[in-house]
Structure 1
Amino acid sequence: MRRSVAIIGTRGYPSYYGGFETAVRHLAPYLARNGWDVTVYGRAGAVRLDDPTREKLVTSRNTPGLETKSLSTMSHGLTATVDAIVRKHDVALIMNVANGFWLPLLWIRGIPSVVNVDGIEWDRQKWGRVAKNVFKAGAAFTARFATRLVYDAIAISERWERDFHRGGDFIPYGGTKAASVDPGDGLLKRQYVLLVARFVPENTVPQFLKAVELLPDEVQVVIVGSSGYGGELENQTQALVDERPNVRWEGHVSDDARLFGLWQNAGVYFHGHSVGGTNPALVQAMMCGAPTLALDTIYNREVLGDTGQFTSSDPHEIASAIMRLLNDDSERERLSKLTAERAIDYYSWEGVLAKYEESLITALKGWRS
């Protein structure tokens, strides 16, 4: 018997916005090819239906919502949840605890849910007091009404067990092993510094920009990312580009081949994410063999193990660590080899997708037993 799953909480399929969207681009086709009826809920304008890699077995449905920074996730989550109930899906995969408020609706209608809780959103600097309280309340609803929980890092699971007394399934993000791509645009292999991050304070973007100002003028720097809404960090980045010819800002890059090429050829990839769990950008950078300098956090150490270097958020320390690695050819090549090996061993998509399917099946069996 075919089973139907509704995937709620991303911008849709296929979309290239962030980590959840990356996971769904792999998961939705995998489930569909394994006999599931898959519907991915999204937002108008965020889905690339002409994408040549799109799996036609996957149904994409857009539902309305409020397109604001604070309300878009919850409003789209509500309308998607209502639609999923009307269509009587067998199980729902929910991304983000902000959608936890709508889990009682699924519970009442007898639809089990698997929830990827994401990071500890109420610890993020980008949210104000009200938003943080909303996320924490959503987490409480998730802990109470979700059938199963998914954590993308062991450290996240430990936090949830301590704060909400809920266990769950550890399922990290995966990475794609890609063919070698030239960096192009006059970039020198293993000689440039790369940042790939959404422009929010907890990704250490402000400190990185200050560190770049401390680097020698001849050092090439490539910055990938934006906030999606404009703001001070975009202004600071543009000012840096205007002042320093060797700094380039590519904004949000949705072309995987371009992004993989930048990671494959970087001399130093700086990963400044301070909250969250297993970060998909870090996993993909490792799969591409990028010599990685990461902010020293429990999450980044869990993912990198001993295959990366670590630094504090102090701009002077970031700049010094970058230069030490840029000036050490043998260490860059050693880290490149080790990170790629670790990514293949622990973060392959094949294992990740199988675990998601197993979690969905377990939720269904537990609900019906």
Structure 2
Amino acid sequence: MPAPLSIAMIGTRGVPAAYGGFETAVEEIGGRLAERGHEVTVYCRGSVHRAQRYHGMRLVHLPALPVKQAETLSHTALSTLHAMAHRPDVAFVFNAANAPFLPLLRVRGVPTALHMDGLEWRRAKWSGRGRDYYRWAEGRGVRTADALIADAPGIADYYRAEFGVPTELLRYGAPILEHDASPSSALRKYDLQPDGFHLVVARFEPENHVREIVDGYRRSAARLPLVVVGSAPYGAAYTAEIQRIADDDSRIRLLGGVYEQSQLDDLYRHAHTYLHGHSVGGTNPSLLRAMGAGTAVIAYDVDFNRETLNETGWFFQDADGVVAALTDVEAHIEAVRAAATSGQRRARTAFRWDEVADGYEALARDLVAGRTIHPLAKLLRRQVVERVDA
């Protein structure tokens, strides 16, 4: 039986997952690797949970500067220094922005895989300097990581075309939420009926197209209310625009953040449709959660979403497209049920966390054995390890 590995997971907010896709991935993958006997260390920031262990994972809590431009990088810098001191067998680093820290891990002979996420430099929230930094960091990661992780075929295609490098296609998993026709505490809390509302769950950022969804809904004759879950920690003007549109229509319900996962799951499970406006990232966990809940999807028309849904559902590119999709789904109930069933079936078969964890485990062993996308890295690492161990 292969020996267990020590694995560091760096660059996210950590666990328990309460923020986004990276954190969910770390919780689901790291917990499974710990169950298999590996020593998994997760670096955490900003968590109210200060436990030292969670689902078998060792948690290291380190501070970060509470500024958008510096929060991630400052925390990853401290995490990298801590990992250098403890020298794990392998490190998984999440977010291309953290690429500048990879050479420090290499100095200690730690093989590293960098999860590239989506094309972050395309996000509207970044100014010219922020965009330039992400573009630079992408190239830095390509030149210094031993392996690159892509979570969608489109991301893998981008790195192959742009940089001529291979990636490891390791998707996210989908939670399967069985249908329950009875009213839940979440529905009672928000005065909603099962199968009686359209749902949006997203941060209020331009590339998530929440404004277009809300505007399209307002212009539609939809009978069912629109429930919007989300907020924008750094986007006051964009949030105000959404609020202005919603104020003109009593059918639109802005709930803000819903952080209790059981209540959020109930909203996914009982929605008539889920409207997904994300356009920049790869395989999106919110989309997978809706599919796993057996809820039909109206998605922004981009390759990532079409591939995830296997072309099943409704697609839009602007507010007019939202109007057309809402009109269609409220007029064709059987088509909605068929899309919901198809989506959940795909979630069950194509997005399984156990298989995702298998991929991470195999990649970790390959990296420890010396596999790398950089031919000279193996020789350099051997020299570093011999020097450190001497």
TM-score using structure 2 length: 0.88
CA contact (8 A) 2:306 2:312 kept: no
CA distance, structure 1, for counterparts of residue 264 and residue 50 of structure 2: 21
CA distance, structure 2, for counterparts of residue 261 and residue 57 of structure 1: 27
* Letter of the 1:322 counterpart: L
* Letter of the 1:236 counterpart: E
Partner of 1:343, secondary structure, is helix
In the TM superposition, what are the counterparts of 1:195-206 in structure 2 within 5 Å?
Answer: 195-206=200-211
* CA-to-aligned-CA distance 1:328-368 (integer Å, 9 cap, x gap): 11111011100000111101111111111111111111257
CA distance, structure 2, for counterparts of residue 94 and residue 165 of structure 1: 21
In the TM superposition, what are the counterparts of 1:163-174 in structure 2 within 5 Å?
Answer: 163-174=162-173
RMSD between aligned residues:
2.0
Quote the residue 2:340 is aligned against.
Answer: 336
Residue 244 of structure 1 and its aligned partner are, at CA, apart by 3.3
Partner of 1:115, secondary structure, is strand
Quote the residue 2:374 is aligned against.
Answer: none
Match of 2:9 among 4, 7, 10: 7
CA contact (8 A) 1:271 1:295 kept: yes
CA distance, structure 2, for counterparts of residue 113 and residue 216 of structure 1: 52
* CA-to-aligned-CA distance 1:298-331 (integer Å, 9 cap, x gap): 111110113211111x212212211211221111
Match of 1:25 among 17, 24, 27: 27
Quote the residue 2:214 is aligned against.
Answer: 209
Query: Cα 1:198–1:37, aligned 2, differ >3 Å: closer, same or farther?
Result: same
Quote the residue 1:256 is aligned against.
Answer: 261
CA distance, structure 1, for counterparts of residue 160 and residue 245 of structure 2: 43
CA contact (8 A) 2:207 2:278 kept: yes
CA distance, structure 1, for counterparts of residue 21 and residue 306 of structure 2: 19
CA contact (8 A) 2:273 2:298 kept: yes
Residue 215 of structure 1 and its aligned partner are, at CA, apart by 2.9
CA distance, structure 2, for counterparts of residue 223 and residue 349 of structure 1: 27
Quote the residue 2:176 is aligned against.
Answer: 177
Residue 283 of structure 1 and its aligned partner are, at CA, apart by 1.0
* Letter of the 2:322 counterpart: I
Match of 2:231 among 226, 232, 251: 226
Residue 250 of structure 1 and its aligned partner are, at CA, apart by 2.2
CA distance, structure 2, for counterparts of residue 83 and residue 65 of structure 1: 14
1:112 and 2:111 aligned: yes
1:46 and 2:51 aligned: no
* Letter of the 1:363 counterpart: L
Partner of 1:292, secondary structure, is strand
CA distance, structure 1, for counterparts of residue 329 and residue 223 of structure 2: 16
* Letter of the 1:111 counterpart: V
1:318 and 2:315 aligned: no
Deviates more, 1:295-304 or 1:179-188: 179-188
Deviates more, 1:250-259 or 1:239-248: 239-248
Partner of 1:195, secondary structure, is strand
Quote the residue 1:360 is aligned against.
Answer: 364
Match of 2:276 among 266, 271, 276: 271
CA distance, structure 2, for counterparts of residue 201 and residue 172 of structure 1: 25
Residue 14 of structure 1 and its aligned partner are, at CA, apart by 1.2
CA contact (8 A) 1:103 1:141 kept: no
CA contact (8 A) 2:204 2:231 kept: yes
Residue 217 of structure 1 and its aligned partner are, at CA, apart by 7.5
Residue 164 of structure 1 and its aligned partner are, at CA, apart by 1.5
CA distance, structure 2, for counterparts of residue 323 and residue 57 of structure 1: 48
CA distance, structure 2, for counterparts of residue 286 and residue 217 of structure 1: 22
* CA-to-aligned-CA distance 1:80-108 (integer Å, 9 cap, x gap): 11110011111111000100011111112
Partner of 2:361, secondary structure, is helix
CA contact (8 A) 2:11 2:95 kept: yes
CA distance, structure 2, for counterparts of residue 159 and residue 257 of structure 1: 36
CA distance, structure 1, for counterparts of residue 247 and residue 195 of structure 2: 24
Query: Cα 1:60–1:38, aligned 2, differ >3 Å: closer, same or farther?
Result: same
CA contact (8 A) 1:268 1:326 kept: no
CA distance, structure 2, for counterparts of residue 300 and residue 247 of structure 1: 25
Residue 245 of structure 1 and its aligned partner are, at CA, apart by 3.3
Residue 18 of structure 1 and its aligned partner are, at CA, apart by 0.3
CA contact (8 A) 1:155 1:299 kept: yes
Quote the residue 1:55 is aligned against.
Answer: 54
CA distance, structure 2, for counterparts of residue 241 and residue 125 of structure 1: 22
CA contact (8 A) 1:13 1:24 kept: yes
Quote the residue 1:306 is aligned against.
Answer: 311
Residue 265 of structure 1 and its aligned partner are, at CA, apart by 1.7
In the TM superposition, what are the counterparts of 1:122-201 in structure 2 within 5 Å?
Answer: 122-181=121-180, 182=183, 184=187, 185-201=190-206
CA distance, structure 1, for counterparts of residue 197 and residue 255 of structure 2: 14
* Letter of the 2:355 counterpart: G
* Letter of the 2:310 counterpart: G
TM-score using structure 1 length: 0.93
CA distance, structure 2, for counterparts of residue 109 and residue 50 of structure 1: 28
Query: Cα 1:29–1:65, aligned 2, differ >3 Å: closer, same or farther?
Result: same
CA contact (8 A) 1:293 1:311 kept: yes
- Unpaired runs of 5+ residues, structure 1, are none
Percent of aligned pairs sharing the same letter: 33
Quote the residue 2:39 is aligned against.
Answer: 37
Q: Which has the larger radius of gyration?
A: 2
* Letter of the 1:110 counterpart: G
